[in-house]
């Protein structure tokens, strides 16, 4: 028997196959090894010493998007996400990769993502490349394609990087303070999508929140934990716990579905850490998605009329990871002029999955094309996607297909409606 901490969770799978039609890679490839059931069987076989961790094992485990749709479908409540993180952690520790892959993984997961200053420097450099139009040249000459996944293709997907990134601070409520909340600024949300963070803070302030954005917070660790770098993810979780719990907060607000799901699972990834396991439970209990928090409080409903036909993309780590789907729809229903047209299979993955659209570009694009076909049926003016990889992926998909549709975050919609209602004139 090999060491596998999540082994007991593996035994919950009864191989019924109800998960199969919900799995994006199984729908594309039709292979048992690329289904949740098949992957669990492979992991169990490894844990029991019946197979080795070889190239085939690595291929099928890393082809998974960890969208967790199988968790929603599973009658046995198999914790697929946690099992997959442990399997990938063992892969990173035990499977011998090539030098290029090792260098790429070391840069991304060890040196850049856990370090806010290096991450911001990287995006500042990308911003400079965009302003000088050197990103077009880098893509044309395939400058980055020595790395795994041919990242030069990602340069087409990067949105126009804002001139100003989102900064930490304490933001007072517009009215009387009823809530004191922390806010995760995030890695992508605080840089590439910083205007969404600014809109989020305005919306929270309009709802009587004092918003605290600690300057010593770091990335939530989702990318690291999903990719198998659990040791680094645990250190990042501890840093965030220390950054936020020094304040007496009513809630810790997150406007990124993937970050929220990971932060709610700090209690799981730190359950064996005697110094942090109780603090992790306290932290996770306070984490709320923006829509979840706003739907639970007496909402400021001084909205102006916003005439907009919208549809919803349910981010995987919101609907499957956090079981949140009604709350954003409830908020939209309160805004005059909003017309919601539900999209077929809105809970299916869009193919972004963290950095999956870099590491598995072709498969990601197949999944995206399916999503775009559903978007076209709605004839909506905008699709709402409240998770940064989904937001970026759908913007790329809309542009790539020539579809006349905007991509918005729920915070942007609420912010526009408050502006039209004169809330910020107070």
- pLDDT tens track for 53-103: 899 999 999 999 999 999 999 999 999 999 999 999 999 988 888 888 888
DSSP string, 331-369: HHHTSTTEEE-PPTTTTS--S-TTTHHHHTHHHHHHHHH
| pLDDT range class, residue 388, cuts 50, 70, 90 | very high
Would you say residue 161 lies in a domain? no
Would you say residue 164 lies in a domain? no
Considering the domain architecture, whether residues 261 and 346 belong to the same structural domain is answered as no
Q: Among 250, 266, 295, which residue terminates a domain?
A: 295
Q: What is the reported pLDDT for 291?
A: 98
Would you say residue 185 lies in a domain? yes
Mean pLDDT, range 133-137, rounded to an integer: 70
CB atoms within 10 A of CB 91: 18
* Residue 269 to residues 22, 92, 226, 230, 423, Cα–Cα distance (Å): 26, 17, 12, 8, 41
* Residue 336 to residues 302, 352, 421, Cα–Cα distance (Å): 10, 32, 10
Does residue 2 have a pLDDT over 70? Answer: no
How many distinct structural domains can be found in the chain?
Answer: 4
Considering the domain architecture, whether residues 284 and 312 belong to the same structural domain is answered as no
How many whole angstroms separate alpha carbon 50 and alpha carbon 32?
18
- pLDDT tens track for 223-243: 999 999 999 999 999 999 999
Considering the domain architecture, whether residues 146 and 204 belong to the same structural domain is answered as no
Q: What is the reported pLDDT for 144?
A: 62
Q: Comparing 134 with 36, which gets the higher pLDDT?
A: 36
Q: Comparing 122 with 211, which gets the higher pLDDT?
A: 211
CATH number for the domain spanning 49: value is: 1.10.1060.10
Considering the domain architecture, whether residues 289 and 176 belong to the same structural domain is answered as yes
Q: Taking the mean position of all CA atoms in its chain, how far away is CA 349?
A: 11
| pLDDT range class, residue 146, cuts 50, 70, 90 | low
Considering the domain architecture, whether residues 391 and 352 belong to the same structural domain is answered as yes
Does residue 5 have a pLDDT over 90? Answer: no
Mean pLDDT, range 1-29, rounded to an integer: 89
Would you say residue 415 lies in a domain? yes
First CA to last CA distance, the chain: 65
Q: What is the reported pLDDT for 132?
A: 87
Q: What is the reported pLDDT for 139?
A: 66
Q: Among 295, 314, 348, which residue terminates a domain?
A: 295
Considering the domain architecture, whether residues 340 and 406 belong to the same structural domain is answered as yes
Would you say residue 2 lies in a domain? no
CATH number for the domain spanning 202: value is: 3.40.50
Strands 308-312 and 382-384: parallel
Q: Among 273, 295, 317, which residue terminates a domain?
A: 295
Q: What is the reported pLDDT for 143?
A: 60
Considering the domain architecture, whether residues 30 and 118 belong to the same structural domain is answered as no
Would you say residue 354 lies in a domain? yes
Q: What is the reported pLDDT for 142?
A: 64
Does residue 324 have a pLDDT over 80? Answer: yes
Mean pLDDT, range 320-346, rounded to an integer: 97
Q: What is the reported pLDDT for 99?
A: 82
Would you say residue 1 lies in a domain? no
Would you say residue 261 lies in a domain? yes
To the nearest whole percent, how much of the chain has pLDDT over 70?
95
Two structure tokens written together for 140: 């044309």
- pLDDT tens track for 395-421: 999 999 999 999 999 999 999 999 999
Q: Model pTM?
A: 0.93
- pLDDT tens track for 264-304: 999 999 999 999 999 999 999 999 999 999 999 999 999 99
Considering the domain architecture, whether residues 209 and 229 belong to the same structural domain is answered as yes
Considering the domain architecture, whether residues 274 and 364 belong to the same structural domain is answered as no
Considering the domain architecture, whether residues 225 and 286 belong to the same structural domain is answered as yes
Considering the domain architecture, whether residues 419 and 324 belong to the same structural domain is answered as yes
Mean pLDDT, range 9-25, rounded to an integer: 94
Mean pLDDT of the chain: 93
Does residue 358 have a pLDDT over 80? Answer: yes
- Which residue segment(s) compose the domain that 356 sits in? 302-425
Considering the domain architecture, whether residues 344 and 395 belong to the same structural domain is answered as yes
């Amino acid at each position: 028997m090999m060491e596998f901490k999540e082994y007991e969770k593996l035994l919950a799978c009864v191989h019924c196959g109800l998960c199969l039609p919900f799995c994006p890679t199984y729908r594309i490839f039709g292979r048992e090894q690329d289904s949740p059931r098949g992957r669990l069987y492979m992991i169990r076989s490894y844990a029991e010493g019946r197979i080795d961790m070889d190239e085939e094992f690595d291929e099928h485990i890393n082809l998974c998007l960890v969208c967790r749709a199988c968790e929603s479908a599973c009658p046995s409540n198999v914790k697929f996400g946690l099992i997959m993180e442990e399997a990938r952690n063992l892969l990173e520790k035990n499977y011998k990769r090539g030098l290029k892959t090792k260098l790429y993984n070391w840069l991304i997961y060890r040196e850049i993502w856990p370090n806010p200053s290096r991450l911001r420097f990287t995006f500042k450099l990308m911003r400079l490349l965009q302003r000088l139009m050197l990103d077009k040249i880098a893509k044309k000459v395939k400058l980055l394609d020595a790395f795994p996944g041919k990242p030069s293709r990602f340069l087409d997907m990067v949105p126009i990087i804002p001139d100003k990134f989102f900064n930490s601070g304490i933001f007072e409520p517009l009215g009387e303070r009823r809530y004191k909340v922390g806010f995760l600024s995030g890695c992508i949300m605080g840089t590439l999508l910083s205007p969404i963070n600014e809109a989020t803070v305005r919306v929270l302030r309009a709802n009587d929140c004092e918003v605290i954005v600690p300057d010593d917070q770091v990335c939530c660790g989702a990318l690291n934990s999903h990719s198998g770098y659990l040791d680094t993810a645990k250190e990042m979780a501890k840093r965030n716990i220390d950054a936020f719990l020094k304040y007496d907060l009513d809630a810790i607000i997150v406007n990124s579905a993937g970050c929220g799901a990971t932060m709610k699972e700090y209690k799981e990834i730190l359950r064996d850490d005697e110094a942090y396991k109780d603090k992790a439970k306290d932290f996770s209990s306070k984490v709320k998605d923006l829509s979840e928090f706003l739907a639970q409080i007496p909402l400021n409903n001084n909205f102006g009329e916003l005439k907009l036909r919208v549809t919803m993309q349910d981010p995987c780590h919101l609907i499957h990871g956090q079981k949140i789907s009604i709350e954003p729809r409830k908020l939209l229903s309160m805004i005059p002029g909003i017309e919601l047209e539900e999209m077929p299979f809105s809970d299916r993955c869009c193919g972004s999955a963290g950095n999956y659209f870099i590491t598995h570009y072709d498969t990601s694009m197949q999944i995206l094309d399916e999503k775009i076909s559903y978007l076209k049926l709605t004839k909506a003016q905008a699709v709402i996607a409240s998770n940064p990889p989904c937001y970026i992926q759908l913007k790329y998909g809309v542009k790539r297909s020539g579809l006349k549709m905007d991509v918005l975050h729920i915070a942007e919609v609420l912010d526009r409606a408050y502006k039209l209602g004169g809330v910020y004139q107070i």
